[in-house]
Amino acid sequence: MGRKLCTNDRKVFFPKDNIGGYPVKYLELIVRTKKTLSAKQMKLLRLQNITSEAQIYKSYDNPLPEEFKKRYAMLIVAIDKLNRDLADQLNQLREYVGSLTHDPDMLAMITPSHYREQSREKAAQIFEKNNKGHVKNDHIANLIKHLTTIMYLASNVSKNDKDELSIMALKGAIVETREILEPGNVAAFNRNVASHMSYIDCQPGSSSKAPKSE
């Protein structure tokens, strides 16, 4: 039983291990993860600003000041640490959620979150590199990034011979993309995209190639 507090002759009990049916450690982990994500967003914004600053130096053919290089290096180190912290926290969340649900789509969305996050960042870089400002609608741009993530992960599944990490990340990306679609577009997505990924249901490490006859 939790801690007891007396207030105006009323006994109020504070749960020791659970709040609203959820483990306190799980809720604390969610808070820490949100703080880490917020910190990473701030660092990425600073990185974007410092990159723009570097472009200004470059446009004038000026060398980067040592103080600038130091700030940049410290920022990269900080982002790297946040990435490691985030990976650890997401892995812990995956374990907690895995114990709370057995829904395959939900498990695919959270397993493995960090690997899929890295793939999303790579897909966003690919989009920004090739878009060059042509697609201005945020919703369409977001959809393209999601589809690019699926393509990127699908290529990794092939390269990694269907390892479980790549398979789960790809399945999760498909579920996430389906969630952002308008209801009228889900059938087309399932028919034109998701159905072509059916090979990911093969056992990890299995090969789709038939053995050569002697």
- The predicted pLDDT at position 1 comes to 45
Is pLDDT at 113 greater than 80 in this prediction?
no
CA-to-CA dists, residue 45 to 55, 117, 136, angstroms = 15, 17, 20
What does the domain layout of the chain look like in residue ranges? 19-100, 111-201
- The predicted pLDDT at position 204 comes to 41
Query: Position 27: which residue type?
Result: L
- Sign of the torsion formed by the C-alpha atoms of 180, 186, 192 and 198: positive
User: What is the average pLDDT across 164-168?
Assistant: 74
CB 76 within 8 A of CB 51: no
Residue ranges in 101-208 assigned as alpha helix (H): 104-110, 113-131, 138-159, 164-180, 183-192
Question: pLDDT digit string (tens) for 62-105?
Answer: 899 999 999 999 999 999 899 889 888 877 877 776 666 666 66
- The string of DSSP letters for 41-92 reads HHHHHHHHHHHHHHHHHHHTTPPPPHHHHHHHHHHHHHHHHHHHHHHHHHHH
Is pLDDT at 149 greater than 60 in this prediction?
yes
Residue with the larger pLDDT of the pair 16 and 64:
64
pLDDT tier at 212 (50, 70, 90 boundaries)? Answer: very low
212: left (phi over 0), alpha (psi -120 to 50) or beta: beta
C-alpha 144 chain-centroid distance: 16
Highest mean pLDDT among 16-20, 33-37, 97-101, 161-165: 33-37
Nearest in space to 119 (alpha carbons), one of 176, 170, 159: 170
Is pLDDT at 123 greater than 80 in this prediction?
yes
Angle at 156 between CA 37 and CA 209, to 5 degrees: 155
- The predicted pLDDT at position 184 comes to 92
- The predicted pLDDT at position 72 comes to 92
- The predicted pLDDT at position 175 comes to 86
